[in-house]
Amino acid sequence: MSLLRANQLGVTQGDRELIKGLDFTLEGGSLCAVLGANGSGKSSLLAVLAGLEPAQAGEVLLDDTPITALPRRQVAQRLGLLLQEQHDPFPATLHEALLAGLHPHIGPWQHESAEQLARAEALLQEMQLGPLASHPIATLSGGERQRLALATLLLQDPPLMLLDEPTNHLDLGHQITTLKRLRTQADNGYGILVVLHDPTLAARFCDRALLLYGDGRHESGAASQMLQAERLGRLYGHPLNRLEGPHGPVFIAD
């Protein structure tokens, strides 16, 4: 049983047909990169796959059930979404915001268990946010806020994770740490779909890739097959050169 399946999915933006007839499956144990030029439909696709926006055609299945037929609480127990930008409408401390990741697993009038609180504390330390736990989230930098969002998703602990540019605002060290963490999650049986802008990072950490051309066309397959300089040049409308690095291919714009 697949964690996520799109059948003949269509995604439009205004009068633009971004994605047409997408058949796509994500299994547990896979880390799949979504790549494409600006405006090609990457964020729109994630919103449709998460059930936040309607598809213009086709359907999205979560655990072989149409996502539109599932209660949102059940969806949140199975699927987690990290958005490209974080917006916090209510004031809270970092620690309070992190515990929001437990909401799908806690019933009305229930409190967090000692085990859940210990997991939250461990994630704060892992993300190097421990000393900031009592700080208002409004005082965090963009990179700190992004690491908090990732910690919240990991605390939610859904088997399926959709992440829109999780390396956004992160310095080089935290970019690598974040993608190593996602690779470990996938190796432990999670299914992860991640929007990336850097094909070098995608080639290093992802086993599959979905390419969106922004005009309805798309390609998907093994990362080693999809992430080739000629194909990526067509995707981005600019020639790329491929070099061999110590961790796999490195792609440089011509």
Average pLDDT, the chain: 93
Please give the pLDDT value at position 88.
67
Predicted confidence band at 174 (pLDDT cuts at 50, 70, 90)? very high
Predicted confidence band at 114 (pLDDT cuts at 50, 70, 90)? confident
Predicted confidence band at 37 (pLDDT cuts at 50, 70, 90)? very high
108 CB-side CA count, 13 A: 0
Detail the DSSP E strand segments found in 1-98.
4-13, 16-26, 31-35, 57-62, 65-66, 79-82
Detail the DSSP E strand segments found in the chain.
4-13, 16-26, 31-35, 57-62, 65-66, 79-82, 160-164, 191-195, 208-212, 218-222, 240-245, 248-253
Taking residues 100-105, what's their average pLDDT? 86
Please give the pLDDT value at position 232.
97
Please give the pLDDT value at position 44.
96
- 192-216, pLDDT tens digit by residue? 999 999 999 999 999 999 999 999 9
189 CB-side CA count, 13 A: 4
Q: Flag whether pLDDT at 222 surpasses 80.
A: yes
Predicted confidence band at 103 (pLDDT cuts at 50, 70, 90)? confident
Q: Flag whether pLDDT at 1 surpasses 90.
A: no
Residue 138 CB partners (closer than 8 Å, separation 6+): 88, 91
Q: Flag whether pLDDT at 107 surpasses 80.
A: no
- The pTM of the whole model exceeds 0.85: yes
